[in-house]
Amino acid sequence: MRFEGKLTSWNDERGFGFIEPTLGGQQIFVHIKSFDNRSRRPEIGLPVSFEVESDAEGKKRARRVQALRASRSTRPNRDKSPAQWGTASYFAILLFLVVFAVAAIVWRVPGWVGLAYLIVSVICFIAYAIDKSAAVAGRRRISESTLIFLGFAGGWPGAIIAQQLLRHKSIKAEFRSAFWGSVLLNVIFFVGISSPLFSKLST
């Protein structure tokens, strides 16, 4: 027998959450492996249909979970999800390219710095891809702190591209706050060490 409900909590790092049945009653545990379509990351508020089974300890859990089409009333919130703001995110990369170009011309920033940003960005993109693949398959994940560090180390342009293309880590508010904080720190660090003032202070 199938039931309907909505996802009321979701731990994206560990790949599980709870469903609140439409008919009421206790919340039902659900694991990422129970979703029929794992290409879409579960989100809080996602309407779903599911079956119920009991585990070895007699606790109820959902199985054969399917996402339902969102109602019109929920679409505005979906449209405002961070992943839909890809233009603004890409603008951050474009703006940094302008800053980097000006710094390279005026302050003569070495070419290897740009190459380093490119290499770390590729590594960061791959890390996001591996993490999403692990999340879908229910395998061990790459920690959020590692992803944040890679972004701070100069891989944040690759992280932004991964977030938008892979639709990964583009919704969780806590992560995005930490991510954009690391981006800001990286840009400040870049401008600081590239400026003539840094050279004067270091001599």
Residue type, 78: R
Helix (H, G, I), strand (E, B) or coil at 53: strand
Q: Would you identify the CATH topology of the domain 2-76?
A: OB fold (Dihydrolipoamide Acetyltransferase, E2P) (2.40.50)
Task: Give the per-residue pLDDT at 85.
Answer: 53
Asked if 70 contacts 78 with a C-beta cutoff of 8 angstroms, the reply is: yes
Question: SS3 for 103-152, per residue?
Answer: HHHHCCCCHHHHHHHHHHHHHHHHHHHHHHHHHHHCCCCCCHHHHHHHHH
- Are the CB atoms for 51 and 5 separated by under 8 Å? no
Instruction: State the average pLDDT over residues 31-50.
Output: 86
* C-alpha 203: how far from chain center: 41
Segment 121-154, tens digit of pLDDT: 999 999 999 988 887 777 888 999 999 999 999 9
Is residue 172 helix, strand or coil?
A: coil
Total residues belonging to the chain:
203
pLDDT for 56: 80
Angle at CA of residue 116, ends 111 and 118, nearest 5° = 100
Percent of the chain with pLDDT over 70: 89
Question: What are 82-100's pLDDT values in tens digits?
Answer: 444 567 889 999 999 999 9
pTM comes to 0.63
Q: Where in the chain is the domain with CATH 2.40.50.140?
A: 2-76
CB distance 141 to 135 below 8 Å: yes
**Could you report the per-residue pLDDT of 61-78, keeping only the tens digit for each?**
999 998 887 554 444 444
In 3D space, the residue among 105, 120, 107 whose CA is nearest the CA of residue 183 turns out to be: 120
End-to-end CA distance of the chain: 75
Which residue has better confidence, 116 or 45?
116
